[in-house]
Amino acid sequence: MKRSALIAAGAVLLGLITATNAVAESAPGCGPVTQIGSTAYVGDHGQRWASVKQFKGCGKNWAYVYTWSSVHDGGAPYTPELVLIEQWNSKDAREPYGRVGLREGRYRQQELWSGGTSTLSDCTSAYVEWNSGATTYRVRTDIRC
């Protein structure tokens, strides 16, 4: 199959999918956590396939990506390649100065948490790289200080 046909097929499959957010309840080894900042989304052309959030709990920050059930159950090819916490000097900084808590995902892994990071006193964002099989999307939440 030609690459362009594969990309088009993936876009059609993902474009037909609509979904709602899932609610994360607890980080691994931590228990209940509280979302900080806004939710960011993986998607394209008005479609959303996954949500990206930042949480605090157990004295740590956590980054989280959840691929919506309609995408996962529909058999779409995807990989949450990585999730991590970015550290920033301020909300107005142009680039993060640090990246911590890196966790790598597996093919069609629906839920992926970063490692817990001791960055609650830093400005932070959650960062995710999510691969649709045709494109890698790089998504971050807003910076929280």
Q: Are strands 60-67 and 47-57 parallel, antiparallel or unpaired?
A: antiparallel
3-state secondary structure 48-95: EEEEEEEEEECCEEEEEEEECHHHHHCCCCCEEEEEEEEEECCCCCCC
| Rounded distance between C-alpha atoms, residue 44 and residue 64, angstroms | 19
> Would the pTM of this model clear 0.95, i.e. be above it?
no
Contact criterion met (CB below 8 Å) for 64 and 82: no
35-140 under CATH 3.30.450, yes or no: no
pLDDT by residue for the chain (145 residues), tens only, comes to 444 333 433 443 444 343 444 455 789 999 899 999 999 999 999 999 999 999 999 999 999 999 999 999 999 999 999 999 999 999 999 999 999 999 999 999 999 999 999 999 999 999 999 999 999 999 999 999 9
> 99 forms bridges with which residues in the sheet?
86
